[in-house]
Structure 1
Amino acid sequence: MAYIKEDYWKKEFKNWLITGCSIRDKNIIYLCLRKSIPYDAASKLWDNEIPSKLISIYLDTPETPIGSTYLEGFDSPIVGVSLKPKAQGLLASRGYHGDVLCVGSGANYPLEKVTPNIFSGVTNIKCINEYSYHIGLGRKIYKRTNIGQWTLLHDGFPDGKMNTNMGFCDLDGFSEYDMYAVGGEGDVWHYINNKWISCGFPSNEQLSAVLCAPDGYVYIAGEGGNLWRGRESHWEKIHSDNSTVLTHQLRWFDNRLWACDTYRLQCWDGEKMIRPEHNGKTVICSGYIDVRDNILIVADLHNVKLYDGLIWQNIVSPY
């Protein structure tokens, strides 16, 4: 039985698809939903003509477990969180102005604009050291320094025209002063001393995710199911499985690395990638993953599962 009961599921989830998840804390998680539209009809629409929702799930108030914000005009929205200056859920649009909806902490704020009058190209929203970062194509990374204030971090990047070989898709950090950004074709940069430095990555493969792990290493996911490990200009490929899909996220939980893509959830056991097990059974999950405040969630198009290190719980399931 899922945490979200049938009446709430019919109201908020029926005929909608889950396209992303993010954790604010152990009591509040956020989901991005897009309206489920038949392929023939959807193919005639611009992406921003497909309605979206930002769903808040409150795990500590089962009597009122859901908050919902309906949106139109959002292009390929990305869900994330910001813990400073306020703890909030975020939904970012890829379109012009880089609109970001912010909810939570007891106030209704207007849409924030990360890139006024410019196409944002947002690929990710990441929370590092409690601050939110807007990651975009063409090596564009903005830090949310205050309500409605997004600061471009560009020192160190060469001037000149950007191309598709360049990132970014993901960002992670040991702190807000020691971060790594990846994307494009082997485009890896290190943010240190308030400046970006190229890492000279040893492959020009497509990169999709990065993790600055508690074990002191930086892990990077690339095409072919490749997993790289290193720091600065020293990198080694530690796994490859000829996969045809890219990893969506890398996360650290329960003292190990987790990787999630469209078809599977895996863990790194120190020698190879394996499916996680629970009570002797393989855990079958896929889609999108997030970790914070000692919980892990995995969301596919229709389901959300939560793991606290001891048990797996269904949060959302179809009725």
Structure 2
Amino acid sequence: MAKSAASLEFLDGCIIEKDYFFFSTRLDIQPLDEYDHGRIMWFESGRWFYQDRNWQVSAVCVLANTVSKEDRAYVTLEEGSGVVGFYIPGRKKDVIDEDLPGGEHGHGIASLTDISQVGGNLYLCGYGGRVMRRVDGKWEPFDKGLKALTFGDFLQRGMTVPDALQAAAPTQRDLTAINGFSEDDIYCVGREGLIFHFDGQIWFQIEKPTNVDLNCVHCAEDGFVYAAGNRGVLVQGKGNNFHALATGVHDDFYAATWFDDHLYVGGLKGLYRLEKDGLRYVDTGEGSFKCRALDSCAGQMLVVAKRWLAVFDGLNWKRIDHPDNI
């Protein structure tokens, strides 16, 4: 790992431990339609490090050993290559890349959106109702009850292209985020208000509380599941019962986390905290900003903005700038 030398925007981020963070980024010099490069970064007590990858990284997380805190890996989900990367502290080899089923030999998998540790294993999701699970070092499809007929399926049945497009439109299960309380209680959300729940046996679709795109999901310490999306939509529920909360906010939400007994939600205009009467704007001292990710751990909440970071300890805010963005 070395120091960077190009301005960038943050895409996702998480906390490893106190004052130690992990991110995915995109370089400003990349053309808007170019995704065959990604840069991941670490920030530890004032120092920056980075590694380049061969594809843009849509999501990162920390895979922690549920038995020993000393064993962990920093995990990257590439958006379209069908590759998941593992950076393991203390290993001589910088990275271990694993090909996902269906993405081998450079075939790739389009639109992979989120990865998360639930229990002792990793789960990821993406467009087309795609969910996978990693167990004992092996990736496997985990989409029983989620797969739907696609445009290609209808073409194979002999439909014309216009008819196939029309038939496939309501079947698309484009998933954007995954999270869970346990491996028998997992939730996926997605476009047009999709919410799916895995109960330990099968995925099943929950009645939609909204038709708005949902961009993030968080299983909170109060026992409820929260999903947030466009147009100020925030839904709350558990099991098979979800409802929309009155937020009083006009914003598109992309991140959520639980910190200091409150739900925090990040949007295109900044940060909000859920109170009894709805969402309240949180003054971070930075004015309006685009929130890309939120995480909480080790007595800190990490706010990942497009160009900078902020850390909150419950009393004070601290802004962190990348040196090449100043």
Same fold, TM exceeding 0.5? Answer: yes
| Alignment counterpart, residue 68 of structure 1, candidates 46, 50, 61 | 50
Q: Does 2:14 align with 1:22?
A: yes
Q: Distance in 2 between matches of 1:277 and 1:46?
A: 35
Aligned to 1:185: 192
Aligned to 1:93: 78
Higher deviation after alignment, 266-275 or 230-239: 230-239
Higher deviation after alignment, 152-161 or 173-182: 152-161
Matches within 5 A, 1:132-281: 132-147=122-137, 149-157=138-146, 159-161=148-150, 163=168, 165-241=172-248, 243=250, 245=252, 247-277=253-283
1:255 CA displacement? 0.3
Q: Distance in 1 between matches of 2:139 and 2:318?
A: 36
Aligned to 1:310: 315
Q: Does 2:293 align with 1:293?
A: no
Q: Does 2:64 align with 1:83?
A: yes
- Stretches of 4+ aligned residues off by more than 6 angstroms: none
Q: Does 2:90 align with 1:106?
A: yes
The change in CA–CA distance for 1:284 and 1:262 in structure 2 (over 3 A counts) is closer
| Alignment counterpart, residue 44 of structure 2, candidates 30, 47, 58 | 58
The change in CA–CA distance for 1:224 and 1:127 in structure 2 (over 3 A counts) is same
* Kept in 2: contact 1:224–1:240 (CA 8 A): no
Q: Distance in 1 between matches of 2:247 and 2:31?
A: 35
Partner amino acid, structure 1, of 2:271 = L
1:257 CA displacement? 0.4
1:131 CA displacement? 3.2
Provide the identity percentage.
Answer: 20
Q: Does 2:136 align with 1:131?
A: no
1:266 CA displacement? 0.8
The change in CA–CA distance for 1:131 and 1:47 in structure 2 (over 3 A counts) is same
Partner amino acid, structure 2, of 1:266 = Y
Partner amino acid, structure 2, of 1:166 = R
1:222 CA displacement? 3.0
* Kept in 2: contact 1:285–1:298 (CA 8 A): no
Q: Distance in 1 between matches of 2:117 and 2:90?
A: 20
Tell me the alpha carbon deviations over residues 66-101 of structure 1, each in whole angstroms, 9 at most, x when there is no partner.
Answer: 332122x304532222214841212221223x1122
What TM-score results when the alignment is normalised by the length of structure 1?
A: 0.82
Aligned to 2:28: 36
* Kept in 2: contact 1:74–1:93 (CA 8 A): yes
* Kept in 2: contact 1:57–1:67 (CA 8 A): yes
What TM-score results when the alignment is normalised by the length of structure 2?
A: 0.80
Q: Distance in 2 between matches of 1:167 and 1:176?
A: 21
* Kept in 2: contact 1:275–1:282 (CA 8 A): no
Provide the secondary structure at the position in 2 that maps to 1:12.
Answer: coil
More helix by share: 2
Q: Distance in 2 between matches of 1:294 and 1:210?
A: 21
Provide the secondary structure at the position in 1 that maps to 2:90.
Answer: coil
Provide the secondary structure at the position in 2 that maps to 1:119.
Answer: coil
Tell me the alpha carbon deviations over residues 163-221 of structure 1, each in whole angstroms, 9 at most, x when there is no partner.
Answer: 56423111121112111111022221111123212212233222212122221222121
Aligned to 1:5: none
- Could you tell me which runs of 5 or more consecutive residues in structure 1 were left unpaired when the two chains were aligned: 1-7
The change in CA–CA distance for 1:124 and 1:134 in structure 2 (over 3 A counts) is same
